[in-house]
Amino acid sequence: MDAVAEKVPASLKALRAEEAECTRCPLYRYATQVVPGEGPAKARIMLVGEQPGDKEDIAGTPFVGPAGRVLDKAIAEAGIDRKQVFVTNAVKHFKFTPRGKRRLHKKPNAHEIERCRWWLDLERAILKPKVVVALGATAVRSLMGKPMTIGKIRGKAIEMPDGGRMVATIHPSYLLRIRDDHDKAAQYRLFVRDLKAARMAR
């Protein structure tokens, strides 16, 4: 954690104030605001998504859109208290492509992920979670420092380079894109299973 070696803010409140001034990559120029992580400072489980979406960018809060509703439902079914979980993203500003009045999600690139890893490392240093759940490939890349195939590591508690524990799974937005009801239900059950694995991780 390079960011941690230099300076660790004393609290999540102090960290949010620093994040609000972030210019580490160009995304801050186009987003409405930074979207910091949210949850208790002593959370045992930390969930890391890709980036804020349109609704999150406007609200300034992570996972308040359709994917967030799927995540909340799955967390409850996995036996996890949502109020005891810290939720954040690998990239803190919304990256999008304008399409008329709409803003369409655009995947962060490697440079943006790496520049924003500074903030994720600081969040982890303050929280010291027992386990981190990587929701999708961008989160895995940020936490592991390199791209990895989710299918090969999914649902298993593996060690991160700095000694932390990570469980990888899909991003809940993936479930929203599945059109076949049977396939969607099956994938949702696997998602809940992965969250249960994180709850049981030691």
Q: For residue range 101-130, list pLDDT tens digits in order.
A: 999 999 999 999 999 999 999 999 999 999
Residue 104 maps to which CATH number? Answer: 3.40.470.10
93 is in which domain, residue-wise?
2-200
DSSP 2-71: HHHHH---SSHHHHHHHHTT--SSGGGGTSSS----BS-TT-SEEEEES---HHHHHHTSSS-SHHHHHH
Total tally of structural domains belonging to the chain: 1
For residue 10, the model assigns a pLDDT of 87
Q: Is the pLDDT of residue 132 over 60?
A: yes
Residue 42 has pLDDT above 90, yes or no: yes
